[in-house]
Amino acid sequence: MHAVHTVFLLGTGVFWTTAYVLLIRTGSRERTFGMPVVAFATNISWEFMFAFVRPPSGLGHVINIVWFCFDVAVGYTVVRFGRAEFPYLPDRLFLPALAALLLLAYPGMNYVSEEFDAGDGVLTAFGSNLAMSGMFLAMLAARRGTRGQSVGIALAKLLGTACASLTMLSDPDGDPRYDNALMYYLYIGCLVVDLAYVYAVFAVRRAEGAAVPGELAAQSAVQG
């Protein structure tokens, strides 16, 4: 059972690291950010907290440090290209607004962790992950396209979070505090919304691919 637990823990690290790499690469190539801004703020707050402030022991600590470093790179894409995604916000307010969001996110994550999870990161991790999944869907709808997103990102996120759920369920030394209806709701909720996101990105990407030949044909007809 320990071996199975370790495999799922490694899978969590590998797939989420893949998601980060794809987010950074796609965002840099398409000159945008791929992670919703609020999700970025809660994510980097969690990773800072559990990489440096209250780190777990063993492999989980290493994974959290790696994720924090990748989240800093995601933050670069937010700072570098974020202004264009908020045309209604004056340029001079973008960075102060982002800083205010980060300043609010960290104590919020910390208070929830201390109040409901005895300082651990389990409830905040899965709760923010479920919210993040919904934010990815909302960003896809708001942008009306897959700019900054891809099926690969969606699949890596799905598999990484699924492995995280299985890591919890396969832990032979699992904390009985997490054997409850709330945690099962979070496991299932993350899976369902992540599956919806994968399908949505695939469907939108396919529609975008079909639209390009149609646009070219229309342009040829007009020119002809």
Q: For the segment 107-129, what is each residue's pLDDT rounded down to a tens digit?
A: 999 999 999 999 999 999 999 99
| Mean per-residue pLDDT of the chain | 91
Tally the residues of the chain: 224
Per-residue pLDDT tens over the stretch 171-223: 988 889 999 999 999 999 999 999 999 999 999 999 998 775 544 344 444 44
- For the chain, the first-to-last Cα distance in angstroms comes to 68
- Retrieve residue 200's tokens: 């949505």
Report pLDDT digits (tens) over 85-106: 998 999 999 999 999 999 999 9
- Whole-angstrom distance, CA of residue 97 vs CA of residue 90: 10
pLDDT at 29 (0 to 100) = 96
Q: What is the DSSP string of 122-190?
A: HHHHHHHHHHHHHHHHHHHHHHTS-TT--HHHHHHHHHHHHHHHHHHHT-TT--GGGSSHHHHHHHHHH
Answer whether 64's CB lies under 8 Å from 50's CB: yes
Residue 80 neighbours by CB distance under 10 Å: 14
pTM, whole model, 2 decimals? 0.89
Q: Residue type for 153, please?
A: I
